[in-house]
Amino acid sequence: MSADPATFRFVSTNRRVREDRRFVAGQGHFVADVALEGLLHVAILPSQHPAARIVSIDASAALAMPGVHYVLSGDELAAATDPLMNGLDTPNVRRYPLAVGQTRYAGEWVVAVVAETRALAEDATEKVRVIYEPLPFVMNAEEALKPDSPPVHPAHGSNVLLDRTFVWGEVDKHFAESPRELSFRVTWGRSSTVPIETFGVAASWDPWRDMLDVWASIQMPKYPDQIARALRIPANNVRVHQDVDVGGSYGVKRGIKQTVLVAHLARRLGRPVRLIEDRLENMRGGDAHGPERIFDIDVAFNDDGIVKSMKIRALDNAGAYAGRAPFQLGKPIGAIVGPYRIESVQYRAQSVTSNKAVQEAVRGFGQAPTNYAIETAIDKVAAATGLARIEVRRRNFIRKDQFPYLIPSGSTYDSGDYHTVVDKVFAHIDFASMEKERDRLRASGLLAGIGIAACLEPSGANSSFEPLLNEKNTTTTWMDSCRIVIDALGFVTVTIHNTSSGQGHETLVATVVGEVLQIEPDLIRVIRPDSLACLPSNSPVGSRMAIMLGGAAFHAAQKLKTKLTRIGAHQFAVAEDKVAYANGSVASTDKQLAWIELVTIAHRQYHMLPEGTEPGLESTHVMQVPTGGTLPKDGRVQMYPCHSFEFHVVLMAIDPALGKPDIRRYVIGHDCGTVINPHIVKGMTLGGLAHGLGAALLEEFVYDDEGHLMTQSFMDYLLPSAHEVPEVEIVHHCTPSPFTVFGQKGSGESGYLGAPAAISAAVNDCVSPLGISFNKLPIRISAIGDAIADAQQGKPQEQAK
Amino acid sequence: MKVDLRINGVNRVADVEPRKTLLDVLRENFLLNGTHAGCEHGVCGACTVLVDGEPVRSCLMFAVQADGYEITTIEGLAPAPGELSVIQDAFCETHGLQCGYCTPGMILAAHALLQNTLAPTREDIAEAISGNICRCTGYGQIIEAVQFAADRLRVANTPRPILTEKPVVEAK
C-alpha cells in the first residue's frame, strides 16, 4: 500500500458524485440522444422457431414500401464479415449477427430492415416472408448433454462446448477419510441484469477517410478490436465514441452482434444507421441472458462441522452460441472455496449449447450462482451436524492471521477479517433478539425464518479464466490506463478510456488525482477521448475500476507530483529530498514555489528545467493487474487480486395462505477495504442486493415446451420495485488490501453475490417446519404457495429436476 | 395531424402521425431527450412525464391525446440552466441514482408526490415511486433523496399549490 489512510483528504470522504448533476437534469447523453444527419433506422425480424432451416426469404413487398431502404439477410452479412469472436477453441460453433442457413433459438435475429423511421422499419418487417423448415431442438441442459440430443451446431458434433474436470488437492483421500458426507443439487435459474436502457448502437461510415464511427451503449473489453476483426478492416479505421452515457449494464451490454450488423449497414448504404433494441428484441434476441446452472455437490465434513473437501459439478445451459457463457464457469474458480478453509476441491465445469437465447456476462460472472451453491452446502452441513449455521461458518472461515491465503485452485486471497465482520453484524442486530422475533412470528401463525450467507467478491478483474479454459489463449494482462494533463494555466484534465454505466468513474479519478496532487477534485476536468485517442482499457468489468482505474490515476498523478517536485528542487538548487510538495506547491526550508509558478516553468521556461526534462506537464500510466501476469499451471492460476467480503442476515415471514415472502429485516456486513467514495459503494451494495433479490424470488427467462420464451416483457419478467426491496442496513468494516494503492477492493458486484443465497436460506428456514425446501432459484410466490398447500394436505413435494 | 401541446410552460405545435406516442414526439419533434424509453409497454416508468401535474407514462399516450394538457418534462424542473430544483439537488446529495436512465422519471414521480404531501412516510415514497423501476440503486438512496427533499421543502419559503390530498403532518 502506498498511501496512509489517516491522511486522506478526499478519499473515503462524504463527497458528491459529480456525474449526478447532468443526470438529474435529464442531460445525460445516451445513445438514443446521439443526433446524426440522415440517420436510418433498423428493425428486426426474429425467428419464430427454436430450430429451423431457412428455406427462403422474400423481401420484395417490404422493399416496395416507401421509405424502406434495405433488407439484410444473414447470408449477405456472413459473406461480408467474419464470425463473431468466440473465446473457446470451438471453431465450428460459428456465430453471426443474423442467422445463417438455420435458426437456433426462437427470437434469433433473421432479417434486418432499414427504413427512414423505426416505425416504418417495423411495419416493413411484417411484409418480409421467411419460409422455414422446422428442425428438432433441445432446451434442457441435461438433455443437451446426451449424445443422441439434436445438436444445435451439427458441424461441432455435439452440444458440449466445455467439459473440464479440475482436481485441486487430495480430494479422493479426503473423501475416503471423511467421517461424513452429503450430496445435493441446486439450480440457478436463467435470469439477467436487464438494464432499463436496452442496447443501442449507431454507426456511420466515411469512405473518403476510411473511418467507421460508432456510438453505443457499450460496456465491453476490446470492443473496437472485435468490430474491426468482424468487419475485416484495420482497427484504426474504427472510432468508438466513449462519451456516450450507458443506461445500466451490470455486465451485459456487449452488443457486438448489434454493432457488426449496424456497421455493415452503414458501410453498405453510405448513411448513418441506428438500432435501438425495443424491449422484446432485447429480452428475446438481444443475447443478454445470464447463467442457467445445475450444481451437483458432494461435501466431506466431520461431526464438528469442519468441511474438508468438496466435489462440485456445474452444468451450464449456454444457449445457442458460445458467447461468454463458458467463461462464466471459469471465473468462480478464483473463489471456489468461498471464505472457507476447504482443503481440496474437485470441479467439473460443463457448458452445453441449447436452443435458448445466448448468454452474456452478468454481474459477478458466475460467482453469484457458485456462492449460492457453496452457502447451501454450509447450511446443509449445519443441519446434518446439528450445529448453528453461523457456528459452522465461524469454524470454517479463514482466520485473519492466515492471509495472504492460498486456496487449492491457485488464487491467493489478499486480506480479510471475516470473524470480525460477522461479530459486528451480530452485535448490530442483537441476533438473539432476532431469533426471538422469528419465534414470535412463528407463534403468531406465520412461517418465519432467518437466512444467513457469507461470500467473497473477487475484484480487480484480469482474464486468467481465458487461458485456464482455452490453452490457445495466452493472455496475461488486463490493463487499464489514465492520462493527466496540466495545461499552461494550471488546470488539470484527466482522460479515462472507457464508457461508464453508472459506476461514477469520473468521480473516482477526480478523487484519486485530487488526493495525490492535493488539489480540489471538483476543479479537475475528466474527459473520455474516442477510442483512437485512448490508452489501453479493458472496461469496467469484474469489479475492477476502483483498483485498476483508481490505481492508474494514482500512479499517473504520482509521476506528475515527482516532476513538479524535481522542477521545484532545481530552482532552489537543492536535492529532491530537501524539498516538500504540499497543496500544489514545492517548498524548501526557506523558499516556496506556487503551483502556477511551477506550471509556468514547465510550459514556458525550458531554460529553467532540470537537464533532460521534457517540457509541459503530462503523464500516463498503464497499469497491470496486481498479482496478474502468469499463465495457468497444472490447472491452477491466480485469478483476481482482491477479495471483498459480505455477510447477509435476513429475517423473513411468509403468510402460509399467501406464500409471499416478506422480508422483515435485512442487514449486510460489507468489507471492500478502503472506500474511495462512500455514496458510490453504498449504492452498488444496495443495488446489487436488489438485483440478487430479483434473482432469488422473481426473475427468470422461462421457455415453454415448444421452445418459446414466455417471459419476454416486464409484465412477466418481474423486476423488483420499491415495494419488493426492503430497507437495508449496512454494517461497514475495512480490511485494506495489501495489493492496491489505497487498500481499496472492488464493490461493483457487492450485494448481488450473497443475497440470493441468503434469501433462499431464509425461505427454506421459514418452510422447514413443514418438511419442505426449495432447491431452485427463483423461488416464486406461486411455488411457495403451492408447496405449502401440498405440505399442509400431506402431499409429497415436487422438486425441480 | 396537428397537435397543440403546452410543454414546460411553452405552447408548442407539431404535425404528427396519430399513432405517434407522446414519448416519441417529445424526443423527436421537440428534442426533449430527458424523457427516456425503457420498456415501451407501460411498466418501467422511464418515460414518465407530468400531465396536469400527474405522473403519466408517455409511452402509453399518443401525442394527440395530450392536446391541450399541461405537460412537464424533466427539462421543465430546473429553475435555470445549471441550477437544480430542490428535489434534483437532493438526488445529488444522497446519490439517488447511478446510470441516470430512470432518473428523470423518478424525479418527476417524486416531484408529483411532494407537490401534494408535506411529510411523506417511507411507505408514501415507496408507493409514489413504485411504478418507476430502477435497476441500479435498489431504491435506498432514492427514498433518502425524497425524504431529504421533503425536509428541505418543508422549511423552504416556497408555496406549493395543492397540499389537499393528505392531512398535513408536521415533521418528526
| Beta strand ranges found along A138-226 (DSSP E) | 160-168, 180-188, 200-206, 211-216
Distance between A663 CA and the closest CA of chain B, angstroms: 14
B-facing residues of A in 270-289 (CB < 8 A) are 276, 278-279
- B92 in the same domain as B48: no
Asked if B135 and A723 come within 8 Å (Cβ–Cβ), the reply is: no
The mean pLDDT of A736-754, rounded to a whole number, is 98
Query: What values do phi and psi take at A136, rounded to 5?
Result: -60, 150
Residue B136 lies in a domain: yes
pLDDT in tens, A568-600: 999 999 999 999 999 999 999 999 999 999 999
Q: Residue range A133-139: average pLDDT?
A: 98
Min Cα separation A724/chain B (Å): 9
Of the candidates B29, B55, B76, which is a domain's last residue? B76
Q: Touching check for A757 and chain B: CB below 8 Å?
A: no
Is residue B167, in this structure, part of any structural domain at all?
A: no
In Å, how far is A432's CA from the nearest CA of chain B?
27
Answer yes or no: do A248 and B84 touch at CB < 8 A.
Answer: no
Instruction: Determine whether A577 is exposed, middle or buried from the number of CB atoms within 10 Å of its CB (0-12, 13-18, 19+).
Output: exposed
Asked if residue B142 and residue B92 are part of one domain, the reply reads: yes
Which residues of chain B does A200 touch, with a Cβ-Cβ cutoff of 8 Å?
Answer: none
What is residue A796's predicted lDDT score, i.e. its pLDDT? 81
Q: Please report whether residue B162 resides in a domain.
A: no
Q: Are residues B41 and B93 in the same domain?
A: no
Residues of A in contact with B19 (CB under 8 A): 119
Contact B139 A691 (CB under 8 A): no
Q: What is the pLDDT at residue B168?
A: 46
pLDDT digits (tens, 9 = 90+) for A58-84: 999 999 999 999 999 999 999 999 999
Question: Tens digit of pLDDT for each residue in A5-37?
Answer: 678 999 999 999 999 999 999 999 999 999 999
Q: Do B20 and B50 share a domain, yes or no?
A: yes
Task: Report the domain count for chain B.
Answer: 2
The bridge status of strand A211-216 relative to strand A776-777 is unpaired
The verdict on a CB contact (< 8 Å) between B38 and A197 is yes
* Amino acid A323: pLDDT: 83
Alpha carbon dihedral A438, B122, A22, A241, in 10-degree steps, equals 30
Chain B contact present for A1, CB below 8 A: no
- Whether A33 sits inside 8 A of B33 (CB atoms) is yes
Instruction: Give me the residues paired with residue A240 across strands.
Output: A214
B145: domain CATH number is 1.10.150.120
Residues B90 and B69 in one domain: no
Check A26 against B34: CB less than 8 A apart. Answer: yes
Residues B116 and B51 in one domain: no
In a shared domain, residues B95 and B145: yes
Structural domain includes residue B38: yes
Asked if residue B153 is part of any domain, the answer here is yes
Give the cell for residue A439: 419465534
| Per-residue DSSP letter, A160 | E
- Using the 3D structure, point to which of B28, B55, B76 is the last residue of a domain: B76
Q: DSSP letter string over A595-632? A: HHHHHHHHHH-GGGSPTTPPSSEEEEEEEPPTT-----
Q: Which residues on A lie below 8 Å from B130 (Cβ)? A: 721-723
For residue A801, the model assigns a pLDDT of: 46
pLDDT value of position A86? 85
Q: What is the mean pLDDT of residues B150-155?
A: 94
If asked whether residues B106 and B145 sit together in one domain, one would say yes
Q: Residue range A544-560: average pLDDT?
A: 98
Q: Using a CB-CB distance cutoff of 8 angstroms, which residues of chain B are in contact with residue A540?
A: none
Domain assignment of residue B171, yes or no: no
Q: Are B71 and B7 in contact, with CB atoms under 8 Å apart? A: yes
d(CA A260, CA A253) in angstroms, rounded, equals 14
Residues 734-753 of chain A whose Cβ lies under 8 A from any Cβ of chain B: 751
> What chain B residue is nearest to A29 in terms of C-alpha separation?
B33
Q: Please, which residues bridge with residue A367 across strands? A: none
Whole-angstrom distance, CA of residue A454 vs CA of residue A441: 25
| A14 and B CB contact within 8 Å | no
Selected residues 188-227 of chain A with any CB under 8 Å from a CB in chain B: 193-197
pTM score of the predicted model: 0.97
Mutate to test the interface with B, among A18, A20, A27, A663 (most CBs of B within 10 A): A20
Say yes or no for a CB contact (<8 Å) between B101 and A24.
Answer: no
Task: Report CB contact under 8 Å: B140, A27.
Answer: no
pLDDT tens-place string over residues A753-769: 999 999 999 999 999 99
Nearest CA in chain A to B144: A727
Query: Nearest C-alpha of chain A: how many angstroms from B126?
Result: 5
- Please answer yes or no on whether B92 and A278 come within 8 Å at the CB atom: no
List the Cα angle A562/A566/A572 in 5-degree steps.
145
Lowest mean pLDDT among A190-199, A255-264, B159-168: B159-168
pLDDT value of position A151: 97
Sort out which chain A residues have CB atoms less than 8 A from B20's CB and list them.
Answer: 119
Q: Is the pLDDT of residue B171 over 60?
A: no
Q: B50 and B112, same structural domain?
A: no
Q: Measured between alpha carbons, how far is A715 from B133 in angstroms, rounded to an integer?
A: 12
B71-123 pLDDT per residue, tens:
999 999 999 999 999 999 999 999 999 999 999 999 999 999 999 999 999 99
Q: How far is A35 from chain B (nearest CA, A)?
A: 10
Q: Check A686 against B138: CB less than 8 A apart.
A: yes
| CB proximity A504 to B under 8 Å | yes
Structural domain of B90: 86-157
Nearest CA distance, B130 vs chain A (angstrom): 5
**pLDDT at B164 exceeding the cut of 90:** no
Contact A698, A718 (CB under 8 A): yes
Residue B19 and residue B41 in one domain: yes
**Whether residue B167 has pLDDT greater than 60:** no
Per CB-CB distance under 8 Å, the chain B contacts of A246 are 99
| pLDDT level of residue A363 (50, 70, 90 thresholds) | very high
User: Mean of the pLDDT values across residues A327-331?
Assistant: 97
CA angle B49, B53, B57 (to 5 degrees): 30
User: Is residue B107 in some structural domain?
Assistant: yes
**Closest Cα of chain B to A775: distance in Å?**
25
Would the CA dihedral through A494, A498, A499, A501 be positive or negative? Answer: negative
On whether the CB atoms of residues A248 and A187 are closer than 8 A, the answer is no
**Yes or no, beta carbons of B97 and A21 under 8 Å apart:** no
The pLDDT tens digits for A166-220 are: 999 999 999 999 999 999 999 999 999 999 999 999 999 999 999 999 999 999 9
Record: contact A248-B99, CB cut-off 8 A: yes
Q: Do B46 and A196 touch (CB under 8 A)?
A: yes
Subunit contact A279:B138, Cβ cutoff 8 A: no
Q: What percent of chain A lies above the pLDDT cut of 70?
A: 99
Are residues B144 and B113 part of one domain? Answer: yes
Q: CB-based contact (8 Å) between A74 and chain B? A: no
Kindly report the CATH number assigned to the domain that includes residue B66: 3.10.20.30
Q: Return d(Cα A645, Cα A734) in angstroms, integer.
A: 10
C-alpha cell, A264: 455493415
Confidence of residue B156 (pLDDT cuts 50, 70, 90): confident
Q: Do B138 and A30 touch (CB under 8 A)?
A: no
Is residue A250 within 8 angstroms of chain B, CB to CB?
yes
Q: Is residue B40 part of a domain?
A: yes
Tell me how long chain A is.
801
Q: Report pLDDT for A459.
A: 97
**Looking at chain A, which residue has its C-alpha nearest residue B135?**
A195
Quick check: A20 and B35 CB within 8 A? no
Cβ–Cβ of B140/A33 closer than 8 Å? no
Domain boundary among B23, B46, B76: B76
Query: How far A135 CA sits from the closest chain B CA (Å)?
Result: 32
- Dihedrals phi, psi of B14, to nearest 5 degrees: -145, 155
B12-69 residue pLDDT tens: 999 999 999 999 999 999 999 999 999 999 999 999 999 999 999 999 999 999 999 9
Contacts of A363 in chain B (CB under 8 A): none
CB contact under 8 A, A714 and B41: yes
Domain shared by B68 and B91, yes or no: no
Mean pLDDT over the full length of chain A: 97
